[in-house]
Structure 1
Amino acid sequence: MSVFAAVMLMSAAPGAPVTKEPSATTPYTLSNSVEQVVHAENGEAYRIMIAWPEGPPPPAGYPVLYVLDGEDNFAIAALTARRLARAAARTGISNGIVVGIAAGPLPRRTRDYTPATPGWTIPANRPASGMTTGGAEAFLDLVGRRVQPLVRQRWQVDRSQETLLGHSFGGLLALHAALTRPAMFSGVVAVSPSLWFGDGLIAREVATAKHVPPILIAEGDDAAVAPTELIRSIDRVADAGRARFLPLPGQSHGTTMLAVMAPAIRFAFSGAER
């Protein structure tokens, strides 16, 4: 018996129920959350994690934040969103639904999060060199045809406030979605996006974009180039201020996703941020 359990036994009144020490094997669980599996056209399974608020939705429905690399980022995003919404009078952040989409193994993540670049492969000095790329369209189809309908069928959703959040290759995918499928999300947050991918692919997509939803690009100190020119290019094809840059001083590529969590949630769950 532990010291804690012994103290509880000695302090309990005669006949009173004794509080038992929690089992060491009891897993932590997140209230108001569920994990489901959806399947892509090729049969591959994807874990989808969803957390929703207490109480009824607002008249227009809940805003939704879709978080890439969900196995790493879902719980952090969901708990941060709930904490900020509890202090809504000070934060201006409303309740919302957080959806984590697990990436799975690195080769699948690399394939799913990268657009097609015929004739170009990842150089030897870059991350994921030698891995297959170019599966972004199939992955975005999965999100649009399987994941978004799954959320919309169960919860009342405000389709004018659906945001995609991604880091590194996930940030690349978020920008690609905003520039090539602008109606899919009402805004995107691209954290340390891999702008080197495709030798200027994103810059070329900006040049041909017709409409761009609000974009927030966040970078740490180790960014090779601040995305200021990219933001100016977006402004030239869209309304000025459509894209914003959030510097993250003191942060590196590996820490920027954690550092941007609160600003990303504010972007997704506060209409004033748009």
Structure 2
Amino acid sequence: MAIIWPDIGLSADSQAELAKQALNPVAALYSVPIQYNWNQKLGPSGKGYQSVTNLQPVLPFSLNEEWNLISRTILPVIEQHGLVSGGQSDKSGIGDITQSFFFSPKHPTASGWIWGAGPAFLVPTGSDTLLSGEQWGAGPTVVALKQSNGWTRGILANHIWSLENSPPDDKDKINQTFMQPFFSYTTHTYTTYGINTESTYDSQTWEWSVPINLFVTQLFKVAHQPLSLQAGPRYWVDSPKDGAEGWGGRVAFTLLFPK
């Protein structure tokens, strides 16, 4: 098995285009990101920790000559320990799926902006009551970005409301806004340096979750398969009561399937 780094066996133009597509949430590019997140200092004691591995397949569909439909799925696999004493919160399993669909023009606007919009759904697939909101949810989602001269900047956002009239007694009704502004630069060797936040505002509890992620991403190829590998630290600027604090980390591995 040959590993090629960073020349991935494509023409320079094709490599540059693939690097741009890998940073575009609504690119017509089949991909399978696997993202591992580490969080700490959770719970009343501040000694709890949690890992969340997000499986995030992206499937593009061509609707006609002008429009694509991009399916983005997030399935979290969660492991958490020490959130409360006695081990009652020590759980491992899957969380709730977030499923988004973006209707996106195939060509940027005259000023170079790429955008997409559509519905987002929350599916209560959690394997345990501690890992799930136990409610169906839905709302709008939108993304807008611009790419030029190696720079990528934009924002992805959604808002999800609970579809349940009466959520479980021990659960708050879901009413959350998610915002992910992102900014990055890609070098001539297809190394990307970036920063983003993944802020969530809970309108029921009036609390913010705001981790800031710094990351480095490298595009490369194993045999004939293009891949990207990302790693970097995260810092929690704000979090809800008993939420994560301080430093954490992220590693992401993405299979890319260019047409």
Q: Which has the higher Rg, Structure 1 or Structure 2?
A: 1
TM, length-normalised to structure 1: 0.28
Which structure carries more helix by proportion?
1
Higher relative contact order (CA 8 A, sep 6+): 2
